[in-house]
Amino acid sequence: MGVNDKEFVKEVTPRSEDFSQWYLDLVLKTELMDYAPVKGCMAIRPYGYAIWENMQRLLDKRIKATGHKNAYFPLFIPESLLQKEAEHVEGFAPEVAMVTHGGNEKLAERLVVRPTSEAIICSMYAKWIQSWRDLPVLINQWCNVVRWEKNTRPFLRTSEFLWQEGHTVHSTDEEAEEETLKMLGVYKDFVENELAVPVISGLKTEKEKFAGALRTYSIEALMADGKALQAGTSHNLGQHFAKVFDIQFLDKDKQLKFAWQTSWGVSTRLIGAVIMVHGDDRGLRLPPQIAPIQVMVVPIITKKKKEEVLDRARNLLSDFGDTLRIEMDDREEYSPGWKFNEWEMKGVPLRLEVGPRDLEQGGVSAVRRDTGEKMFIADGELPLLLPSLLVDIQENLFRQARDFREKNTSRVDSYDQLKETIQEKRGFVRAFWCGEGRCEEEIKNETKATIRCIPFPEGDQETGLCCFCGKQHSKMVYFARAY
């Protein structure tokens, strides 16, 4: 119908021109989301939600394989419960949505819409846990949470978002620490192997830890604009919540003890990470493991061969529909060129073109989204090649992201170097830091870079002079500007 193929892509600002605008254009244009008529809230459209469903399925399997069960706790938290843990309320009170009326009546106590569920879950755990026999409690929930954000950005920071939050209870400190690190490891495995996003894991500083936690660990990813994104957190809560919510158990030694807890979560912000790590000027590049459509078949229809071409395309769907997420675009009102652009923009990992010439030659033309490489595949090779191409694409996306991160990780020895690198090159900057909040704060104020994490030492821990104050025996940490 003569639609101009090139117009399509023009509606998205090229990534190389303006990363931020590219992101905003892309999430709308590819129908991942749309803005809702509530400040800072979004509708996640089917194409975006299908990515989340794939993430949920792959992560839920891991959460269950490590012995956790899902449950569901109330959306509302009585204000007095949220206020029990001092640091927790200080961290979250300024950003909560508050329900004051229910069924046309003013409530006796205001209800907080959960920004996270420690308070409500701990109030239940206090009822459920009496004896060492009741431990460990290993529960996870998938739900929505609300944090009233001033500056919002689709997927990365919205007033309401979807996430999972694990909440576990243990009889010893050691077991809680082990759980905290185990789940951080689960997140790293999930994000690297399913989302093809390489991450650094480590400990958050006191300033950056979760409000109410003893220690927070995180996985940190580097976006293609050189900014970091916290992709998941795992908290050792110590006995902070157990003490104020009175979660006590009678131990084997007949002593009544406060329990040890953890919590950990990842959210729909991971969709933002996937976009910003893998996307390019032509649009999304989705890792096959989480792509809603892994293979898109585009029949190249000419007048003479229409039925034969369509039959072959339909056969591909029936041959591979059970093992791959494969679809066909047989819309008559769009040209093949338009479709190529659309599915490239939507990040489908592999495109198969079936035209009269492919039929004659007994195969299909395949185009990889990650490399743009075009190849002819004979029909007989499809059953082996399609899955292995998808594996290749998944691995290549990870490799490209890791190479990018390595190129954009600098090591600096002085504060001047740190400032310059953050300003000019961005990326992760490794530098020694003494552990003092004052140095951290002053560096942040001047450079807008925060300490993303104190990485787990590989082999012997290297120490040196704090890049800011010069103190000896400082640890190597990762600085970056972050989302």
Which is closer to a second copy, CB of 20 or CB of 70?
A: 70
d(CA 120, CA 88): 12
- The beta strands (E) that lie in 177-284 are given as 200-203, 215-222, 228-238, 248-250, 256-258, 260-267
Measured from the CB atom, the residue of 40 and 363 that comes closer to a second copy is 40
Confirm or reject binding of residue 148 to a second copy (CB under 8 A): yes
d(CA 278, CA 263): 29
Dihedral sign, CA of 279, 280, 282, 285? Answer: negative
List b or e across 257-290, with b for residues whose CB sees 16 or more CB atoms inside 10 angstroms: bbbbbbbbbbbbbbbbbbbbbbbbebbbbbbbbb
Our CB check for a second copy shows the closer of 141 and 239 to be: 141
In DSSP terms, which residues pair with 475 in a beta bridge? 433, 463
Contact 29, 22 (CB under 8 A): no
Q: How far is the CB of 414 from a second copy (least distance, A)?
A: 40
Nearer to a second copy, 111 or 297 (CB): 111
Contacting residue, 2, 150, 360, 424, with a second copy by CB under 8 A: 150
Q: Rounded CA gap, 383 and 320, in Å? A: 8
The encoded tokens of residue 269 equal 């912000």
16 belongs to the binding site for a second copy (CB under 8 A): no
Query: Applying CB under 8 A, which part among 34-42, 199-207, 221-229, 475-483 lies near a second copy?
Result: 34-42
CB of 38: closest distance to a second copy in angstroms? 5
User: 295 has which bridge partners?
Assistant: 326, 350
| Residue 104 in contact with a second copy, rule: CB under 8 A | yes
Minimum distance from residue 87 beta carbon to a second copy (Å): 18
Asked if 302 touches a second copy (CB under 8 A), the answer is no
Contacts with a second copy, 326-365, as mask; x by CB under 8 A:
-------x--------------------------------
Of 46 and 457, CB closest to a second copy? 46
The answer to whether 220 touches 231, Cβ cutoff 8 Å, is: yes
Cα–Cα dist 100/19, whole Å:
41
Of 328 and 465, which CB lies nearer to a second copy in the complex structure? 328
* Contact set for a second copy, span 154-173 (CB under 8 A): 159-160, 162
- Rank residues 16 and 100 by Cβ distance to a second copy and give the closer one: 100
459 binds a second copy (CB under 8 A): no
Residues 44-103 that bind a second copy (CB under 8 A): 44-46, 48-50, 52-53, 69-78, 81, 93-103
Which residues contact residue 342 at a Cβ distance below 8 angstroms, ignoring those fewer than 6 apart? 8, 329, 334
Q: How many residues bind a second copy (CB under 8 A)?
A: 58
Q: How far is the CB of 39 from a second copy (least distance, A)?
A: 8
Q: Is residue 468 exposed (0-12), middle (13-18) or buried (19+ Cβ within 10 Å)?
A: buried
Residue where the block lists tokens 């819309």: 331
Binding flag, residue 130, a second copy (CB under 8 A): no
One-letter amino acid at 162 equals L
Q: Does 423 bind a second copy (CB under 8 A)?
A: no
In whole angstroms, what is the distance from residue 369 CA to residue 283 CA? 10
Binding site for a second copy (CB under 8 A): 34, 36-39, 41-46, 48-50, 52-53, 69-78, 81, 93-104, 111, 113, 120, 123-124, 127-128, 133, 139, 143-144, 146, 148-150, 159-160, 162, 333
